């Protein structure tokens, strides 16, 4: 094929059949367009578009590649006028061209002719192109660089003596060969090689470019590795100059990568010097990053360590060493079973999980508290599989968080919750809440236990179903009055219990108001007061019976309280005899005093000698004593008083009871009798 092909190619060059195609170079972190690689195409009149793999080697063999590059660059520089100035253009330089000492001069002339700044030009040199006359190639490369262009090492990783080129050439970029990139997500070796090249490029301060990025998964992986730019079908195939405006229109709108959030702590990277609008780099320099990480590692209030695949401590932070009460050095290089022999069994399943790449649940564990003897502290241990850049488990990252305080709070909370539940259960009161319109919103479970009416049936006005019909109206009246005014509710009504019995209940409620004073909610309780209610009724009944007896007896009775003798009860007979009302709070001593003041036998003004006071103070029964009582109208009458103390169940005097009898008639009869007797005696003794 050679001869006719060579003349065909020469003809093609004369007719400008070799045209540049442009393939986008995109920043992985932001999705922003950074430039294009120029890829040659032969628009053959008969064969259609011919691949460079077919005609580049031919051009090299026939010495036409200088011409080819020259014609291509002229077109490119003209097309570049339609490409924004911050975008770079990468052009491939072949093996033989690097032996042509006039190459830099030709490139410069073409650029100057088109007014294209050489700083926008990136020259891609393949490793194999350096194979032959290395020294001359290096000289040419240096000259190209001195003219202001950037140099990229293409197809890195496919040739040999690559590392030497890294050292001898003034490189700016490293292009990872597509063969590693394309197979990254299914070949471990490719991932490792890609990771190593990115690491190498980063550590030498070179921009790393991945070729052959076909999927987002690979783009994400490359971004994670720290690769800078991507090129490949994911971002666009090489397009002819006519299609450039369309590509620019789409690509100039940044589309961030799928998984990674933009980093905010980035610093400027000197490698993006061509354009001040270039975005920030993901990380600082590796050494700074490492120092930062170390400081964070030791400073966090969480115990951290890293175990390798043999479960040996590779690193331990200060906090964890403190928790273990062992120096950091006592951990390193030793297996965790040696360091913490007591916990080997406990940790085993968790470590196993992590080694298999599974996240496990957290382990809770207690260690002795170093600051308080005899006490323990509780820690939560988390085991995370640690993976390398290419997602393989290389060890276990363990974090140990002190949760003692949280535990204590939890415990206290659960205790008080228990306590609360207990109190509520034992409490005879059934709490409930109601809306401002009186509809019940919630009621304690006890309600259902008592009434058999389920909670859902009781809400709203459902509870009225178990209310006694006789109590319905007064209850609703009281409730609606409270709802209207916001005044506290306190009512009694009967409720049918689940066994059919009626129980007297007492309902009380108060409002909670909002800041503007509106009623937000009613909080209330219902309490079974049936026993209380019955007892009260019984009491009322026996009180009435007692009162009836009091009223019927022909003796005056006055009952008074200790210690001051305040009257709490008296019967009509007492009032008849004393000719005064003995209504509370008359103090009985007052009218006792009235009577004794005229008693010739009693010494005046000695209240302790009044029968009631004496009975209360001494606890003894006093009397009966006889008094002549004078009345306001000047009349007088004999009465007899006897007083007895009343004891409470504890044996203490709680009051006294006074029995009053009208003995005036008897007394006067007796006087008459004794008068008669003495008259008789006188008469009898007189001769
Ligand atoms: P290269 O420099 O490694 O160019 C990248 C090649 O990968 C291009 O092939 C490009 O079309 C292709 N490619 C880009 N993205 C993807 C992708 O996602 N998947 C796959 N499978 N391939 C992708 P192309 O254009 O056929 O170029 C082949 C080679 O021809 C280039 O490899 C370069 O070495 C050479 N070449 C192209 N143009 C020129 C030129 O003007 N001068 C010289 N000296 N060599 C050239
Ligand atoms: Ca290339
Ligand atoms: Ca390449």
Q: If DSSP states are collapsed to H, E and C, what string results for 39-70?
A: EEEEEECCCEEECHHHHHHHHHHCCCHHHHHH
Name the pLDDT band for 596 (thresholds 50, 70, 90). very low
- The mean pLDDT of 447-472, rounded to a whole number, is 93
* pLDDT for residue 389: 67
CA of 39 to the centre of ligand 1 (A): 6
pLDDT per residue over 476-514, tens digit each?
999 999 999 999 999 999 999 999 999 999 999 998 888
Round to whole Å and give the CA distance between 477 and 485: 12
Chain-centre distance of CA 192, in angstroms? Answer: 40
For the Cβ of 53 lying below 6 angstroms from any atom of ligand 1, the answer is yes
For the Cβ of 482 lying below 6 angstroms from any atom of ligand 1, the answer is no
Higher pLDDT, 635 or 45: 45
CA of 212 to the centre of ligand 1 (A): 10
Contact present, 156 and 127 (Cβ < 8 Å): yes
Contact present, 251 and 26 (Cβ < 8 Å): yes
Q: For residue 622, report the phi and psi dihedrals to the nearest 5 degrees.
A: -115, 140
Sign of CA dihedral 169, 175, 176, 179: negative
Among 224, 227, 164, 236, smallest CA distance to 201 is for 227
Per CATH, the homologous superfamily of domain 6-254 is EAL domain (3.20.20.450)
Round to whole Å and give the CA distance between 247 and 490: 81
Least confident span in 101-115, 243-257, 325-339:
243-257
CA of 21 to the centre of ligand 1 (A): 10
* pLDDT for residue 149: 96
Round to whole Å and give the CA distance between 261 and 382: 26
CA of 53 to the centre of ligand 1 (A): 8
Q: Among all ligands shown, which has an atom nearest to the Cα of 234?
A: 1
Question: Which of helix, strand or coil describes residue 388?
Answer: coil
pLDDT per residue over 87-133, tens digit each?
999 999 987 788 888 999 999 999 999 999 999 999 999 877 666 66
For the Cβ of 232 lying below 6 angstroms from any atom of ligand 1, the answer is yes
Q: For residue 630, report the phi and psi dihedrals to the nearest 5 degrees.
A: -100, 145
Round to whole Å and give the CA distance between 447 and 524: 13
CATH code for the domain defined by 430-535: 3.30.450.20
CA of 248 to the centre of ligand 3 (A): 23
Least confident span in 309-313, 450-454, 568-572:
568-572
Q: Above 80 in pLDDT, residue 473?
A: yes
| CATH of range 553-670; options 3.20.20.70, 3.40.50.1010, 3.40.50.300, 3.30.450.20 | 3.30.450.20
**Which atom of ligand 1 sits closest to the CA of residue 65?**
44
For the Cβ of 157 lying below 6 angstroms from any atom of ligand 1, the answer is no
Q: Using CA positions, which residue lies closest to atom 41 of ligand 1?
A: 40
Q: Among all ligands shown, which has an atom nearest to the Cα of 76?
A: 1
For the Cβ of 233 lying below 6 angstroms from any atom of ligand 1, the answer is yes
Round to whole Å and give the CA distance between 668 and 43: 159
Q: What is the largest CA-CA distance in the chain?
A: 202
For 458, residues 6+ apart whose C-beta sits below 8 A from its C-beta are 440, 443, 447, 448, 451
**Which atom of ligand 1 sits closest to the CA of residue 60?**
44
CA of 42 to the centre of ligand 1 (A): 13
Q: Which residues surround ligand 2, an ion (CB under 5 A)?
A: 92, 124, 154
What stretches of 202-266 adopt beta strand conformation (E)?
Answer: 207-210, 229-230
* pLDDT for residue 265: 33
Q: Among all ligands shown, which has an atom nearest to the Cα of 40?
A: 1
- The mean pLDDT of 270-280, rounded to a whole number, is 38
Q: Above 90 in pLDDT, residue 53?
A: yes
Higher pLDDT, 545 or 457: 457
pLDDT per residue over 597-617, tens digit each?
344 444 444 555 677 788 888
CA of 549 to the centre of ligand 2 (A): 125
**Domain 286-425 belongs to what topology?**
Beta-Lactamase (3.30.450)
CA of 35 to the centre of ligand 3 (A): 15
Contact present, 525 and 518 (Cβ < 8 Å): no
Higher pLDDT, 260 or 109: 109
* pLDDT for residue 161: 53
Name the pLDDT band for 269 (thresholds 50, 70, 90). very low
pLDDT per residue over 636-648, tens digit each?
888 888 888 888 8
CA angle 588, 592, 595 (to 5 degrees): 150
* pLDDT for residue 566: 79
- The mean pLDDT of 457-466, rounded to a whole number, is 94
For the Cβ of 72 lying below 6 angstroms from any atom of ligand 1, the answer is yes
For the Cβ of 637 lying below 6 angstroms from any atom of ligand 1, the answer is no
pLDDT per residue over 56-95, tens digit each?
999 988 888 888 999 999 999 999 999 999 999 999 998 7
For the Cβ of 214 lying below 6 angstroms from any atom of ligand 1, the answer is yes
CA of 126 to the centre of ligand 3 (A): 7
Q: Using CA positions, which residue lies closest to atom 7 of ligand 1?
A: 212
Q: Among all ligands shown, which has an atom nearest to the Cα of 56?
A: 1
CA of 234 to the centre of ligand 3 (A): 16
Q: Using CA positions, which residue lies closest to atom 33 of ligand 1?
A: 92
Beta bridge partners of 467: 495
CA of 158 to the centre of ligand 3 (A): 10
610 CB-side CA count, 13 A: 23
* pLDDT for residue 152: 94
- The mean pLDDT of 29-54, rounded to a whole number, is 93
Q: Above 70 in pLDDT, residue 595?
A: no
**Which atom of ligand 1 sits closest to the CA of residue 93?**
44
Q: For residue 389, report the phi and psi dihedrals to the nearest 5 degrees.
A: -60, -25
Would you tell me how many other CB atoms lie within 10 Å of the CB of residue 242? 9
* pLDDT for residue 426: 60
For the Cβ of 656 lying below 6 angstroms from any atom of ligand 1, the answer is no
Q: Using CA positions, which residue lies closest to atom 3 of ligand 1?
A: 155
For the Cβ of 218 lying below 6 angstroms from any atom of ligand 1, the answer is no
For the Cβ of 92 lying below 6 angstroms from any atom of ligand 1, the answer is yes
For the Cβ of 49 lying below 6 angstroms from any atom of ligand 1, the answer is no
Among 660, 658, 663, 632, smallest CA distance to 645 is for 658
* pLDDT for residue 164: 74
* pLDDT for residue 295: 65
Q: Above 50 in pLDDT, residue 280?
A: no
* pLDDT for residue 425: 57
* Percent of the chain at pLDDT exceeding 90: 33
Round to whole Å and give the CA distance between 519 and 514: 6
446 CB-side CA count, 13 A: 17
Pocket test for ligand 1, best of 40, 52, 57, 232 (most atoms within 8 A of CB): 52
Pocket test for ligand 1, best of 39, 67, 219, 230 (most atoms within 8 A of CB): 39
Q: Among all ligands shown, which has an atom nearest to the Cα of 212?
A: 1
Least confident span in 113-127, 175-189, 531-545:
531-545
Report the mean per-residue pLDDT for the chain: 82
- The mean pLDDT of 289-302, rounded to a whole number, is 65
Q: Among all ligands shown, which has an atom nearest to the Cα of 156?
A: 3
pLDDT per residue over 430-454, tens digit each?
889 999 999 999 888 889 988 999 9
Question: Left if phi > 0, otherwise alpha if psi is -120 to 50, otherwise beta: which for 442?
Answer: beta
Residue 185 is given by DSSP the state T
Round to whole Å and give the CA distance between 195 and 212: 15
CA of 154 to the centre of ligand 3 (A): 5
Q: Using CA positions, which residue lies closest to atom 46 of ligand 1?
A: 92
- The mean pLDDT of 252-281, rounded to a whole number, is 42
CA of 64 to the centre of ligand 2 (A): 19
* pLDDT for residue 262: 38
Name the pLDDT band for 584 (thresholds 50, 70, 90). low
Name the pLDDT band for 162 (thresholds 50, 70, 90). low
Round to whole Å and give the CA distance between 40 and 50: 9
Question: Which of helix, strand or coil describes residue 245?
Answer: helix
What is the strand order of the sheet 363-368 is part of?
A: 313-316, 303-308, 393-402, 376-387, 363-368
Name the pLDDT band for 302 (thresholds 50, 70, 90). confident
For 375, residues 6+ apart whose C-beta sits below 8 A from its C-beta are 368, 369
The domain spans of the chain are 6-254, 286-425, 430-535, 553-670
Round to whole Å and give the CA distance between 615 and 558: 13
CA of 315 to the centre of ligand 3 (A): 40
């Amino acid at each position: 094929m050679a001869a006719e092909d060579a003349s065909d190619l020469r003809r093609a060059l004369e007719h400008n059949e070799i045209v540049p195609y442009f393939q986008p170079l995109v920043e992985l972190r932001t999705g922003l367009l950074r430039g294009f690689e120029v890829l040659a195409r032969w628009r053959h009149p008969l064969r259609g578009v011919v691949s460079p793999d077919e005609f580049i080697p031919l051009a090299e063999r026939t010495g036409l590649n200088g011409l080819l590059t020259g014609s291509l660059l002229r077109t490119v520089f003209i097309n570049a006028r339609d490409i924004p100035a911050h975008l770079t253009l990468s052009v491939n330089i072949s093996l033989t061209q690097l032996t042509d000492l006039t190459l830099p001069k030709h490139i410069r002339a073409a650029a100057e002719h088109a007014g294209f700044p050489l700083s926008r030009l990136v020259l891609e040199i393949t490793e194999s192109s350096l194979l032959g006359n290395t020294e001359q190639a290096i000289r040419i490369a240096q000259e190209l660089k001195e003219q202001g262009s950037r140099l990229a090492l293409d197809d890195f990783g496919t040739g040999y003596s690559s590392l030497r080129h890294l050292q001898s050439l003034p490189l700016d970029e490293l292009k990872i060969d597509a063969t590693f990139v394309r197979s990254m997500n299914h070949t471990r070796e490719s991932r490792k090689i890609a990771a190593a090249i990115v690491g190498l490029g980063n550590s030498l301060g070179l921009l790393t470019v991945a070729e052959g990025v076909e999927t987002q998964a690979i783009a994400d992986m490359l971004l994670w590795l720290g690769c800078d730019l991507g090129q490949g079908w994911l971002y666009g195939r090489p397009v002819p100059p006519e299609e450039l405006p369309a590509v620019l229109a789409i690509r100039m709108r940044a589309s961030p990568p799928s998984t990674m959030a933009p980093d905010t702590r980035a610093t400027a990277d000197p490698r993006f010097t061509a354009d001040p609008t270039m975005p920030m780099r993901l990380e600082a320099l590796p050494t700074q990053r490492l120092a930062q990480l170390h400081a964070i590692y030791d400073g966090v209030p969480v115990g951290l360590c890293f175990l390798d695949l043999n479960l040996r401590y590779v690193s331990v932070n200060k906090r964890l060493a403190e928790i273990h009460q062992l120096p950091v050095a006592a951990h390193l290089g030793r297996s965790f079973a040696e360091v913490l022999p007591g916990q080997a069994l406990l940790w085993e399943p968790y470590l196993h999980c992590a080694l298999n790449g599974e996240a496990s649940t957290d382990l809770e564990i207690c260690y002795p508290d170093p600051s308080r003897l005899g006490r323990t502290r509780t820690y939560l241990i988390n085991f995370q599989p640690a993976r390398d850049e290419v997602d393989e488990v290389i060890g276990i990252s363990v974090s140990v968080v002190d949760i003692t305080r949280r535990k204590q709070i939890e415990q206290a909370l659960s205790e008080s919750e228990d306590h609360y539940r207990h109190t509520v259960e034992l409490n005879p009161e059934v709490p409930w809440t109601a809306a401002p319109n009186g509809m019940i919103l919630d009621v304690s479970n006890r309600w259902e236990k008592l009434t058999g009416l389920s909670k859902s049936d009781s809400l709203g006005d459902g509870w009225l179903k178990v209310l006694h019909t006789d109590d319905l109206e007064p209850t609703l009246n009281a409730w609606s009055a409270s709802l209207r005014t916001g005044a506290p509710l306190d009512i009694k009504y009967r409720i049918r219990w689940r066994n059919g019995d009626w129980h007297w209940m007492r309902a009380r409620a108060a409002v909670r108001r909002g800041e503007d004073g509106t009623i937000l909610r009613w909080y209330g309780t219902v309490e079974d007061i049936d026993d209380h209610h019955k007892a009260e009724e019984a009491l009322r009944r026996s009180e009435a019976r007692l009162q009836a007896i009091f009223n019927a007896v022909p003796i005056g009775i006055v009952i008074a309280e200790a210690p001051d003798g305040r009257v709490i009860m008296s019967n009509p007979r007492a009032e008849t005899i004393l000719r005064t009302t003995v209504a509370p709070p008359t103090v009985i001593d007052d009218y006792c005093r009235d009577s004794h003041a005229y008693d010739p036998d009693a010494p005046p003004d000695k209240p302790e000698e009044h029968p009631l006071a004496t009975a209360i103070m001494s606890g003894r029964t006093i009397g009966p004593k006889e008094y002549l009582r004078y009345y306001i109208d000047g009349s007088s009458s004999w009465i007899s008083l006897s007083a007895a103390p009343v004891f409470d169940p504890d044996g203490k005097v709680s009051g006294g009871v006074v029995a009053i009898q009208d003995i005036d008639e008897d007394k006067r009869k007796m006087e008459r009798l004794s008068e008669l007797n003495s008259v008789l005696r006188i008469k009898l003794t007189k001769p």
